[in-house]
Amino acid sequence: MFLEIALAICGYQFIRRLRKPSKVSWQGLKPLSRAEVLGARGEARAHAKLEETLDWLCGSDYYLFGPLVIEHAPGTAFPTAEIDHLAVTPFGIFIFETKNWSGRIAPSAARGMLTRVGSDRRAEDRRSPIDQNRTKVEFFRSILPPLWPVTGAGLFTSPEVKLDGALHSDLLSLSDLPQWLRSRRDAYAGLRAIDVQKAIDAVTLLVRTSEAALSRHKATVSA
């Protein structure tokens, strides 16, 4: 099976090279803003909670990527996408989009959006992390074996966030994460465990984790 995966990935990479690359001019990144600093702190909290939870559920039989970049739409204006955290486990591959939002988060009437109500009681719509994750999840599902379930989730890292009960169950606070992953493990019970090392090798062929790749992606988005 792994040979088939490698051939499929090599075929994808060959087709990608044949397509016209996007033209991006990179002149360096601006200094981090306050929002970016707070976001980085949220990412660190998410990474720590993921490691703690995966250690609890899997022992050492898992791998946690992040951050990383995939080229999911070569030849377009935005060929790459950033993934905050990707976990490879014996019971699935999980893609997490993290948000350091505070306040109350509730469903929105607008498709693909959530409503955030801050301490000033002002409501604003923001794009749902589930919607942001959609193409990333589809990218891996289209290439990896269908027996390896790929699931996306939105992870809210602020200790001052309150999630409305009407939200989709794939929208989580840090405290929700252990039970959410445990339920995924239990749902997978009885099926053949994923060979974590083979899955790591397959994912590694599809992602870029270097600072240069992340910087190029951020520059494209900023431009």
Per-residue pLDDT of 19-34, as tens digits, reads: 433 333 334 445 667 7
Residue 21 has what pLDDT? 37
Cα–Cα dist 199/194, whole Å: 7
Residue 15 pLDDT greater than 50, yes or no: no
Residue 153 pLDDT greater than 70, yes or no: yes
The total of other beta-carbon atoms located within 10 Å of residue 194's CB is 22
Say what percent of the chain tops pLDDT 70. 85
Provide the number of structural domains found in the chain: 1
In degrees, rounded to 5, the angle at the alpha carbon of residue 125 between the alpha carbons of residues 121 and 128 is 125
Q: Are 179 and 172 in contact (CB under 8 A)?
A: no
Q: Which domain holds residue 89?
A: 2-222
The average confidence (pLDDT) of the chain is 87
Residue 24 has what pLDDT? 34
Going 34 to 38 to 39 to 43, the CA torsion angle's sign is positive
Q: Which of 105, 127, 108 is nearest to 117 (CA)?
A: 105
Q: Please write the tens of the pLDDT for every residue from 57-83.
A: 999 999 999 899 998 888 888 888 999
Least confident among 56-70, 73-87, 110-124, 126-140: 73-87
Q: Are 26 and 216 in contact (CB under 8 A)?
A: yes
CA dihedral 82, 196, 154, 72 (to 10 degrees): 30
Tokens (6 digits) for 35: 């929002």
Q: How, if at all, do strands 171-173 and 150-156 pair?
A: parallel
Average pLDDT over residues 143-165: 97
Q: Are 5 and 145 in contact (CB under 8 A)?
A: yes
Residue 206 pLDDT greater than 90, yes or no: yes
Element of type H or E holding 200:
helix 196-204
pTM attached to this predicted model: 0.83
Residue 60 has what pLDDT? 97
Least confident among 62-76, 103-117, 124-138, 196-210: 62-76
Least confident among 19-23, 44-48, 92-96, 174-178: 19-23
DSSP states along 125-171: EEE-HHHHHHHHHHHHHHHS-TTS-EEEEEEE--TTEEE-TTS-TTE
pLDDT-based confidence at residue 2 (cuts at 50, 70, 90): low
Residue 30 has what pLDDT? 58
Phi, psi of 149, rounded to the nearest 5 degrees = -65, 135
Residue 89 pLDDT greater than 80, yes or no: yes
